[in-house]
Structure 1
Amino acid sequence: MIKLLSEVAEVTGGHTFRTKAEAASGHVRLLQIKDIQEGILTDFSALPFADIQPEKLKINLQTNDILLPLRGERIPAMMIVNQQSTLVTTTNQIAVIRVNSLLINPEY
């Protein structure tokens, strides 16, 4: 059965930063286009902090979110496993696909 992507998932972009996205410290980790590699990301400790307050987050990455870079020559996909509920966001150069896990297996 063929379904539209919008029937099985929500697709959004990351946060738009007006200034430099990275910060020396903070409460929110930042995943950028250079961090996307094919596979699953479970450890966020190496990611820099984002220059944003937690209450202003547009999107917080959750387990089973699928990330696709919106530019570049190769297009790897990466899935997030965020079991510790770490605050992690991404830039607007990355599409975040949040699937309905009752309808589709995100690992597939």
Structure 2
Amino acid sequence: MSVRNTLFHFQASEMLLFNKKITAQEACDRNLVSEVFPNDVFQKETEARVQQYAKLPKISLQKCKLVSRELEKDKLYQVNKHECVILMERWQSDECMNAIMGFFSSKGSKL
């Protein structure tokens, strides 16, 4: 695994496992979003983009999207199936039950 991939994996884990928040610019730097607009021009820029994209050929865009995602589709299905198995295991664990009971008991005291 390359240094760049290792860093990306670490940053993704940090967000997913530890609920780390990132800024819009950090999301852009990590290629999670393609561009960041300042708040004062956001509405104008997004409207212009929507108008520009609406003029593009719909069927061609759909086919390009399909082709670009087709390569990863089988892998995504495999990962999803694996995640479902793990989620079922976690839902049935004592740890999950304790977390749910703790959540409801803390909510009940506020009611």
| Category of TM-score, reference length = shorter chain | under 0.3
Select the structure of larger CA radius of gyration: 2
Greater RCO structure (CA 8 Å; 6+ sep): 1
Between Structure 1 and Structure 2, which shows a larger proportion of strand residues?
A: 1
Q: TM-score, normalised by structure 1?
A: 0.20
Between Structure 1 and Structure 2, which shows a larger proportion of helix residues?
A: 2
